[in-house]
Structure 1
Amino acid sequence: MPQAPFHQPDSGGNSAASVTGLVHSVESCGTVDGPGIRFVLFLSGCSLRCRYCHNPDASYVRRGQTRSAADILEELARYRDFLQAAGGGLTLSGGDPLFQPAFAKAVLKGGKAMGLHTCLDTSGHLGANADGELLEHTDLVLLDIKAWNPERYRNLTGGELRPTLEFAERLAALRKPVWLRYVLVPGLTDDMEDMAQLARCARRLGNVERVDILPFHQMGRFKWDELDLDYTLRDVREPSAELTEQARSIFRREGISRYEVH
């Protein structure tokens, strides 16, 4: 079963040293989690249990290492000049960073204070945890919408679609830039009409700058085996190049050039 969100006490006016969180790992030169080269902080904990998850080890808070926001920001500062020169910045991923909102906010706020571009990678399922201050210090949201049909979403993730859509509407109202991410899984998320409806929604929101169609892969399967978890997609093949291009063409057609499609 998905875990309940991990609520740290909000730091209020306290220093970043007093805010701690559970960190799964750090990637100092990420290239796929936002523009440019990025410092990617993977936080532990997630409210969903996606059947295709390639980081199931990051879904459980018990696998995290406790670190302070100040410690993370000290590490980030060593890369600041390089990240700025590379047109990159800071990305919080996971798991889902909104599982630990106080810690996520402290790190994003510190990254902005350094003059870095900041990015939040989230399913939006815990969007209600993102208060105004957290979003104020977020330049870009990578929003993973797992499926458009509520029943398929529930079957795929164990959660409900509605919170993600409500978060998307909130981001649109704030004019917060969004890159939409959609994992293409044969037999699960390859319904063409579902994708067309999602594309129309993205167009209507008006703040979606880019859509990434991410072909399903089996590269995270070994993690499920190591954790002794039931992996239900062992026999699912990666989508063909033709299917992937067909999916991208749906978003290009429905988007009417309002956003990039990759």
Structure 2
Amino acid sequence: MSTATSRRTDEGAPIVELGVPVVGGARGRAAAGTAGLETSDATRAERFAQMRAGELGSLHSWELVTAVDGPGTRFTMFLSGCPLRCLYCHNPDTMEMRRGEPVTADEILARLARYRGVFTVTGGGLTISGGEPLMQPAFVARILRGAKDLGIHTAMDTSGYLGAHCTDEMLADLDLVLLDVKSGIPETYKKVTGRDLQPTLDFGRRVADGGTEIWVRFVLVPGLTDAPENVAAVADYVSSLATVSRVEVLPFHQMGRDKWESLGLRYELGDTEPPSPDLVQRVREQFRERGLTVF
């Protein structure tokens, strides 16, 4: 197992020093990386069988980050494959499962075991993100169960669109759901994602009814998701979920633009500017007015 020690800087921020790599492959989320993880050399037929059994998954990248994808320092794994086509997606290379690398559940769990000391020091754990994790439900289920057997806090970052793929057993193995609510008006949601809103609403209610903690994420895009009535619809829905502990309003940025172009995809938000501080404040206040804790 890896070792971890903590010290404090002059500014008072805790630093965890690790004896193992903290980023798989690339330095940021804009590039794939599975460095440090052994990939499978199984044949194509063997891979399909292993994926059906949940023994193998398609992994885009992984990284170890603090206070981004849940509490504490998180081992965040980004799975490949997503049913949505969000106009503002900053990792469009996660949309297709074939772009990922084959990695076994055992390989992931062995890596998690090495970081248990880090998680204990920081109050962190595992976050499964994507793409959309529920594109690979059997693999996610095996990882979650294994993480809980290791005593590790678990989280999943999901749009909820494939919530029907999440079994009750999987929900029982989740300590936190990071629910991406793209929009509150069905027509706007369709424009943003190309899909229907209702499955997300249904999944969020199911998670809340089961007592699992929820952090809601809402991407604020000027001219797309910023209409007061759209934000109000999101806020009304979120305030109806009893287990929501925080809302994150995420300002739109252009960090993924080059990726769209490199993949030969048409990027429709090239002329869209990030939201102004005043707009961000207005939207956050719309959530706070309903008694929600907003970041």
TM-score (norm 2): 0.81
Partner residue of 1:200?
A: 236
Question: 1:117 & 1:165 partners in 2: Cα distance?
Answer: 25
Larger Rg: 2
Q: How does 1:67-78 map to 2 (within 5 A)?
A: 67-78=103-114
Instruction: Map 1:209-224 to 2 at 5 A.
Output: 209-224=245-260
Q: State the AA in 2 paired with 1:222.
A: D
CA contact (8 A) 2:129 2:156 kept: yes
The corresponding residue for 1:164 is: 200
Q: What's the % identity of the aligned pairs?
A: 50
Gaps of 5+ in 2: 1-47
1:81 and 2:117 are equivalent in the alignment: yes
CA contact (8 A) 2:189 2:196 kept: yes
Post-superposition offset of 1:185: 0.2
Query: Does the alignment pair 1:93 with 2:129?
Result: yes
Where in structure 1 do 4 or more consecutive aligned residues deviate above 3 Å? none
Q: Return the offset for 1:162.
A: 0.7
Question: Equivalent of 1:152, from 188, 191, 199?
Answer: 188
Whichever residue aligns with residue 9 of structure 1, its letter is R
Are positions 1:112 and 2:145 aligned together?
no
**Bigger CA drift: 142-151 or 199-208?**
199-208
Partner of 2:52: 9
- The residue that corresponds to 1:173 in the other structure is 209
Residue 242 of structure 1: aligned partner = 278
Cα distance in 2 for partners of 1:84, 1:46 equals: 32
Q: Structure 1: state its 5+ residue gaps.
A: 1-5, 12-18
Q: How does 1:118-133 map to 2 (within 5 A)?
A: 118-133=154-169
> Which of 80, 99, 122 in structure 2 is aligned with 1:44?
80
Aligned residues: 247
1:62 aligned onto 2:62: no
Structure 1, residues 95-122: CA drift from partner, whole Å, max 9, x if none? Answer: 0100100001111111111111100000
Q: Determine which structure has greater relative contact order: mean sequence separation of CA pairs < 8 Å that are 6+ residues apart, divided by chain length.
A: 1
TM-score, reference length from structure 1: 0.91
1:181-233 deviation digits (Å, cap 9, x = unpaired):
00000000001122122212212221111000000000111111111110000
Q: Which amino acid aligns with 2:52?
A: P
* C-alpha distance in 2 between matches for 1:201 and 1:65: 37
One-letter amino acid matched to 2:294: V
SS of residue paired to 2:83: coil
Deviation at 1:10, TM superposition (A): 4.1
Note if contact 1:30-1:40 (Cα within 8 Å) is conserved in structure 2. Answer: no
The answer to whether the 8 Å contact 2:184/2:232 transfers is: no
Q: State the Cα deviation string for residues 64-114 of structure 1 (Å, max 9, x = none).
A: 101110011111111111122111100000101001000011111111111
Deviation at 1:29, TM superposition (A): 2.8
Correspondence for 2:293: 260
Code of the residue aligned with 2:293 in structure 1: it is E
AA partner of residue 134 (structure 2): L
Counterpart residue type for residue 113 of structure 1: D
